[in-house]
Amino acid sequence: MVGLLLAGLVGCGSTGSDAAAADVQRLLDRRARAVLDDSESAYVATQEPSGERAAARTEFERLRALPLASWSYRVTGFHRSGDRATADADLRYRIDGYDKAPLVAARTLSLRRADSRWYVASDRPAEDAGEQLWEQGAVEAVRGEHSLVLGVGQTAEALRGYAQLADRAVPAVQEAWGEEWPKRVVVLVPKSLEKMAELLGAPASGYRGIAAVTTGETGGAAQAPADRIVVNPDAYAVLGDFGRQVVLTHETTHVATRAQTTAATPLWLSEGYADWVGYRGTGRAPAQAAPELRDAVREGRMPGGLPADKDFEFGGETGGLAQAYEAGWMACRLIAERWGEVRLGEFYRAVGAHGRREGAVQTAMREVLDTTPEKFTERWRAYLRSQLG
């Protein structure tokens, strides 16, 4: 077992690096077992004796807030110099009742050897990897009927509010999309926009004004870990009750559709469909829900075609991004009105099932909607004039 585990590890600076890497793997196995056994003393015992054992106790206490079904490490790289070493490792963990497979987080561990034993000196995100929520402070967990909300720097009352929104979103998405998804969501609420960006491993400037994002694997297999809805509390705070519900329903739609969203799915469809579900049944008219696109149409700046993926990039002009979302929503709204809600769902699935971008929309439009992209675009532009002009 150890031989398989250590295949591909890199050792340098010392003979016997393979043996040292095996010792470190066993150290991390003990650390993982301590988490699952809820043994603070065993967890702290893996930390360097002369180091920050108080910090290890704090981290262990934060981990206790997580309803964990599994927790393990797999060493993927090892670099030793005398009694010091650095290990690259995949931290793999599952949230009980939500993750069918482990979520994998890349970590870099600094290690020290003392009295013939290896200890953890530090455990941090790998380069370009995001932080984990518990690294940002004490975690508060609130369970809803269909949701688990994990927050840092938030009151229990605020987190219950997120859970209520998520619990309303799940049945709304189920009604629109169907049953073939777990019908539960994990919501992460950090303290600020900056902390949200640290969770995502990206600059904060790219998410300013974005109320929430959903992380996960597109075209996810049945055993993929659950998506995480990550909230930007700064942007969320300026929304009213209606806007907050639309946002949570939108993001929950991404959770539901993830397995059928592939490289073949254009963003105008994935984001437009999520907005369509978010606004579905609210009675919100296009002129109210699509102000940027409305103004463009009325000013004679009619879009020539459906938005490209690049139009959805964060960090650009807010108006242009909003217009792209609105354009995608109007396209999905048109399909639901002209061909029916069931056909809209079938179209979404057919595009994703194509597997690659080239020809996906064209084929699905022909087979599901009995039209062509050219005819659909012409109809969509006429629809914009009639609804927004």
Q: Say if residue 250 is in the same domain as residue 266.
A: no
What CATH number should be reported for the domain holding residue 66? 3.10.450.50
Q: Say if residue 201 is in the same domain as residue 252.
A: yes
Q: Say if residue 148 is in the same domain as residue 238.
A: yes
Number of domains in the chain: 3
Final residue belonging to a domain, choices 257, 287, 317? 257
Domain of 272, in residue numbers: 262-389
| Phi-psi group of 283: left, alpha or beta (phi > 0 → left; psi -120 to 50 → alpha; rest → beta) | left
* Residue 258 DSSP class: G
Q: Say if residue 149 is in the same domain as residue 108.
A: no
pLDDT recorded at residue 84? 96
Q: Say if residue 159 is in the same domain as residue 245.
A: yes
Please name every residue paired with 79 in a beta bridge, in sequence order, or none if there are none: 86
No. of H helices and E strands in the chain?
15, 9
- What does 270-322 look like in DSSP terms, one character per residue? HHHHHHHHHHTTS---HHHH-HHHHHHHHTT---SSSPPGGGG-TTS-HHHHH
Long-range Cβ pairs for the range 310-317 (8 Å, 24+): 311/267, 312/267, 312/268, 312/271, 314/206, 314/207, 314/210, 315/203, 315/205, 315/206
What CATH number should be reported for the domain holding residue 186? 3.30.2010.30
Q: Say if residue 201 is in the same domain as residue 276.
A: no
Q: Say if residue 382 is in the same domain as residue 269.
A: yes
Tens of pLDDT, residue by residue, the chain (389 residues): 333 333 333 333 343 468 999 999 999 999 999 999 999 999 999 999 877 789 999 999 999 999 999 999 999 999 999 999 999 999 999 999 999 889 999 999 999 999 899 999 999 999 999 999 999 999 999 999 999 999 999 999 999 999 999 999 999 999 999 999 999 999 999 999 999 999 999 999 888 889 999 987 655 555 556 689 999 999 999 999 999 999 999 999 999 999 999 999 999 999 999 999 999 999 999 999 999 999 999 999 999 999 999 999 876 565 789 999 999 999 999 999 999 999 999 999 999 999 899 999 999 999 999 999 999 999 999 999 999 98
Amino acid residing at 181: W
Burial of residue 288 (number of CB atoms within 10 Å: 0-12, 13-18, 19+)? exposed
Final residue belonging to a domain, choices 230, 257, 284? 257
Q: Say if residue 277 is in the same domain as residue 253.
A: no
Q: Say if residue 218 is in the same domain as residue 241.
A: yes
Q: Say if residue 111 is in the same domain as residue 200.
A: no
- What does 16-85 look like in DSSP terms, one character per residue? THHHHHHHHHHHHHHHHHHHHTT-HHHHHTTB-TTS-HHHHHHHHHHHTTS-EEEEEEEEEEEEEETTEE
Q: Say if residue 357 is in the same domain as residue 367.
A: yes
Nearest CA to 143 out of 66, 200, 214 is that of 66
Q: Say if residue 231 is in the same domain as residue 246.
A: yes
Contact call for residues 36 and 71 (beta carbons, < 8 A): yes
pLDDT recorded at residue 3? 36
Give the alpha-carbon dihedral of 134, 140, 142, 146, to 10 degrees. Answer: -10
pLDDT recorded at residue 224? 58
Nearest CA to 307 out of 322, 327, 287 is that of 327
C-alpha 215/C-alpha 228 separation (Å) is 5
DSSP run (H or E) holding 142: strand 139-143
Final residue belonging to a domain, choices 206, 225, 257? 257
